[in-house]
Amino acid sequence: MRIGYLLVAVFFSVAVQASESDEYFPEQLTAQKLLYACASSSLTAVGRESRRYCQGFVSGVEETERLLRGELSGAPALICLPHGKNAAFYADIFIKHASRKGADLEQPAVRVVMEALEQAFRCK
């Protein structure tokens, strides 16, 4: 009987973890949810993990844009990022952009991150 309870507990734990992680799939992630992650408190382990997720997400969008527009396709890049900046710097660019009045945070996070990077670092 104990094994049955253990299996139920393990199944429930896995199901809860799966449902919690569903919100982070890019096709489901809104700019609002990403902004919450980016602006999480660095005083807690969960907050620090959320901030790292945000930084990785923004960095992934930047990397994808750079590779698809410039290096792989030969098309002119839309964004020209300054050298020597880290993912936290670019996440701050997103936070400032998404926090401005009138920002449409119901849009997909990818779209709003691109808007932020294009506005801040448009190639000339």
When mean pLDDT is compared across 7-16, 21-30, 33-42, 59-68, the lowest value belongs to 7-16
Give the predicted TM-score (pTM) of the model. 0.72
Helix residue spans in the chain (DSSP H): 2-21, 31-38, 45-65, 87-99, 109-121
The arithmetic mean of pLDDT across residues 52-72, rounded, is 85
Q: In this structure, how many other beta carbons lie within 10 angstroms of the beta carbon of residue 116?
A: 25
pLDDT band at 4 (very low <50, low <70, confident <90, very high): very low
Kindly report, residue by residue over 25-34, the tens digit of the pLDDT: 545 799 999 9
Supply the pLDDT for residue 23.
56
